[in-house]
Structure 1
Amino acid sequence: MYKWILIFFNLFLISSSLFASTNDANFKQFQEVFSQWTKAFNQKDLTGSCNLFDKSLTASYQGYSTKNYTTLCDGFKKVFAEKNRRYHYRFKLHQVYHSADLAAARITWYLTINEKGKAPIKVQDEGMDVLKKYEDGKWKIVNYLAYKTDKED
């Protein structure tokens, strides 16, 4: 029995790697999806920032309570209203696993927080986003897991 489980697991890894991409059209498509979100966030565009997320969102960030669509967008609203701080995101997309209308993206987020008279705060997060493609052709995040890392790229 153990032998069959091991064989199945290895076949799964091999077949999964066939769908992983870093430089094909799928990868570029998701690069654009995250670029649009980054642009919206950096411009304090609440609608554009919330558009990437599905209404059924489950968002887990290590050390914090689980968020949903409403609590996530309320957080954006609060951040965008801050007058003394400027938040700026950039990202590095590592891999995209894509099959039919589901995809998983391994991504690193870099956040810089600037406040007048203080040194910039830099935060790096590693994450895995699960996206679903809808009938209108748009991809939305339905689930994500993320954690802060001390590593700097």
Structure 2
Amino acid sequence: MLRLAALLLVLLVATPALADDKADIAARLQQWAEDFNAGRADRACDLFASDLVADIQGAPPGRTHDQQCAILRRALADKSKSFTYQPVIHDITVLGDTAIVRLDWSLTTKLSMRPDPIQSTEIGMDVFRKQADGAWRIVRFLAYDAQ
């Protein structure tokens, strides 16, 4: 009976912490979209851990933090294009200091030479780890085109 009471106490205390972690992760993803959409590449790069490994459809496997940030900086510096990302989060599973997020990224691309925007959806799975500074950052992600 004492074990059951202790287990219930742990569950009651842990549930709000998990909800807070899920909210923190969702907020980090939304902030990333806001930073990226505003052209703030350095702030957008803060979502990625220094040990990032990413696999993106059509790109060489094992993209690192530095490679990912260089790609973001290049894309945002290209004034012939503008991008608007919006996350669509399907679920967030928190397991201690690791979390898995299944999501889609809705992307609108506008090209200076084309009047109509291009709509696309990228399907993804992000693995976050809580860092020493308390921030959740992506350590692994997979992304592929929905089509």
Q: How does the TM-score come out when normalised to structure 1?
A: 0.79
Whether 1:77 aligns to 2:76 is: no
Whether 1:102 aligns to 2:108 is: no
* Residue of 120, 123, 128 corresponding to 1:126: 123
Distance 2:70 2:21 in 1: 31
Deviation at 1:111, TM superposition (A): 0.9
Identical columns (%): 29
Whether 1:113 aligns to 2:145 is: no
- CA RMSD between the two structures: 1.7
Distance 2:88 2:22 in 1: 12
1:34-65 C-alpha deviation (Å, 9 max, x unpaired): 01111110011111110000111101012211
Whether 1:33 aligns to 2:28 is: yes
Aligned residues: 129
For residue 64 of structure 2, what is the aligned residue in structure 1?
68
Distance 2:122 2:129 in 1: 22
Q: How does the TM-score come out when normalised to structure 2?
A: 0.82
Distance 1:32 1:114 in 2: 26
What runs of 5+ residues in structure 1 fail to find an aligned partner? Answer: 1-23
For residue 43 of structure 1, what is the aligned residue in structure 2?
38
